[in-house]
């Protein structure tokens, strides 16, 4: 595929500087791009590389120096580059139907353009929407409902009754709808509380590899529309996430916690159960959140506190041994002065 710089600018809603008929056939970084490729500048600290890149064109933010090169100016070069990667390189897979070696039970409903690879298993009562792709090792338990344009990569398991919306991608090894961690004390032992709810994954969600999302004890564990989960995320039973949340690797969210819309949780964040995190809140990496967090906050640390306060506190930590030594010297000096005063008194 080749596109002129003019066509690319129209696709991105940007403006061209230089030759609009320049042909572009691919994309690369500022360092690696060559003739016939377009690159991008998203971070100002790399602005000097615009002058030395061998790319045929550069995607730039407003006000950036094009150094005499062909350029397309857009408000968000990083987003523009992502859109061009989709345009040039992402192609819809050709549907291949139910392939030999796949197991599809009687009574399964399949939409148009479904692909089920060998080794996938689809149980009775499952509903598959249009253009669903199930890779080898996918297991869909009875009563699962899958929307349109869904891709489940190898060894994904979706347990009984759970629902997956439209345009959802789930990566290798993730489990949707495993039992929530619920046990009632019974003397010295524990009695398992049956988990009879489901998981609902709404439209336009992407879930990374080896995540676990537990079914609700009674009702629904819900992943809100547009939310993105990195690899190795654990979401407990009855958790509700809002829309367009970003949850980074190794986050753990305890049961019955609710996230607002557009919440961002950094890597290895831990959230206690039965709390609420408000809209547009950001939680720094490795933070522990023991209680509710209002909307529009940035918090860090364990226990989490406002981020600016955490920065000040973390700056003190390395100096604590020095402060302890100074405090000990002052304490000794005070004792000496008190002793002298006592002698004179």
Supply the residues annotated as catalytic.
Answer: 237
Question: What DSSP string describes 251-307?
Answer: -EE-TT-EE-TT-EE-TT-EE-TT-EE-TT-EE-TT-EE-S-B-TT-EEETTTTEEH
What does the alpha-carbon distance between residue 254 and residue 222 come to, in Å, rounded to a whole number? 13
Q: What is the largest CA-CA distance in the chain?
A: 101
- Enumerate the β-bridge partners of residue 122: 104, 140
Q: Which residues in 77-104 are b (16+ Cβ under 10 Å) and which e?
A: beebbebbeeebeeeeeeeeebeeebeb
- Enumerate the β-bridge partners of residue 271: 253, 289
Q: Which of 27, 90, 93, 92 is nearest to 57 (CA)?
A: 27
């Amino acid at each position: 595929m080749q596109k002129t710089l003019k066509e690319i600018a129209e696709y991105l809603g940007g403006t061209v500087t230089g030759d609009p008929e320049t042909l572009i056939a691919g994309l690369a970084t500022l360092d690696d791009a060559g003739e016939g490729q377009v690159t991008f500048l998203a971070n100002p600290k790399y602005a000097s590389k615009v002058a030395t890149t061998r790319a045929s064109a550069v995607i730039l933010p407003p006000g950036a120096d094009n150094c005499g090169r062909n350029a397309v100016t857009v408000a968000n070069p990083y987003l523009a580059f992502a859109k061009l990667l989709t345009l040039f390189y992402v192609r819809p897979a050709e549907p291949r139907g139910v392939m030999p070696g796949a197991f599809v039970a009687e009574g399964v409903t399949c939409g148009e353009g479904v692909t089920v690879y060998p080794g996938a298993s689809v149980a009775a009562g499952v509903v598959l929407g249009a253009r669903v792709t199930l890779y080898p090792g996918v297991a869909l338990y009875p009563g699962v409902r899958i929307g349109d344009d869904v891709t489940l990569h190898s060894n994904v398991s979706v347990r009984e009754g759970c629902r997956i919306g439209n345009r959802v991608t789930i990566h290798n090894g993730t489990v949707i709808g495993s039992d929530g961690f619920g046990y009632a004390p019974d003397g010295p032992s524990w009695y398992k509380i049956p988990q009879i709810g489901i998981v609902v994954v709404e439209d336009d969600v992407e879930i990374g590899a080896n995540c676990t999302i537990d079914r609700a004890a009674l009702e629904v564990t819900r992943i809100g529309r547009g939310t993105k989960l990195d690899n190795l995320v654990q979401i407990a039973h009855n958790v509700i996430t809002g829309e367009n949340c970003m949850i980074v690797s190794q986050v753990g969210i305890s049961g019955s916690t609710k996230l607002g819309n557009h919440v961002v949780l950094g890597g290895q964040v831990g959230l206690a159960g039965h709390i609420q995190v408000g809209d547009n809140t950001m939680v720094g990496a490795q933070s522990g959140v023991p209680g509710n967090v209002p909307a529009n906050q940035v918090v860090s640390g364990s226990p989490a506190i406002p981020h600016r306060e955490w920065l000040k506190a973390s700056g003190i930590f390395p100096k604590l041994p020095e402060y302890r030594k100074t405090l000990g010297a002052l304490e000794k000096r005070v004792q000496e002065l008190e002793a002298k005063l006592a002698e004179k008194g």
